[in-house]
Structure 1
């Protein structure tokens, strides 16, 4: 531990949680810049003005994760919840 004497083991979970948060923010930033139909980085595309491209917007909004959880119950542990809440 030559150069890292100032880093205590107690702060490793903090580093991990901040790293995950920065990763999620970076992913969302790249997703918006590359995939959002309302964001136009290239100058020629910006000159087009407002586009009525509803199909591209629907494709961006209804991504695969949203399609996967669409018909699922909004519970984290449905088996455990039903065990404690449903009468026998």
Structure 2
């Protein structure tokens, strides 16, 4: 089985998309392990039991991306959507 059989230009987009997905999963895993208040890695923190730390949980849930997206319209291309759906625009 030759290596050129698997390394073809047609599979580069597949490699890229899988690489991005693995990167996003790794980033989320790292974020959960380091900043999630419900995850306790060390033995001393696990011995504390269930904590009612609402401020820390709110800080974790309201991260920067969520604050940024909250102020935006829930559309991918709002100008293009407005162009095709706005009845006030004149047509040629």
d(CA) in 2 for partners of 1:57, 1:69:
19
In the superposition, the TM-score normalised over structure 1's length comes to 0.92
Compute the RMSD of aligned alpha carbons. 1.2
Query: Does residue 36 of structure 2 align to residue 51 of structure 1?
Result: no
The alignment of Structure 1 onto Structure 2 pairs a total of residues equal to 86
Q: Distance in 2 between matches of 1:74 and 1:29?
A: 26
CA distance in 2, matches of 1:4, 1:82: 49
SS at match of 1:49: coil
Q: Distance in 2 between matches of 1:36 and 1:69?
A: 21
1:4-29 CA distances to partner (integer Å, 9 max, x unpaired)? 52311111111111100100000000
Q: Segments of 4+ in structure 1 off by > 4 A?
A: none
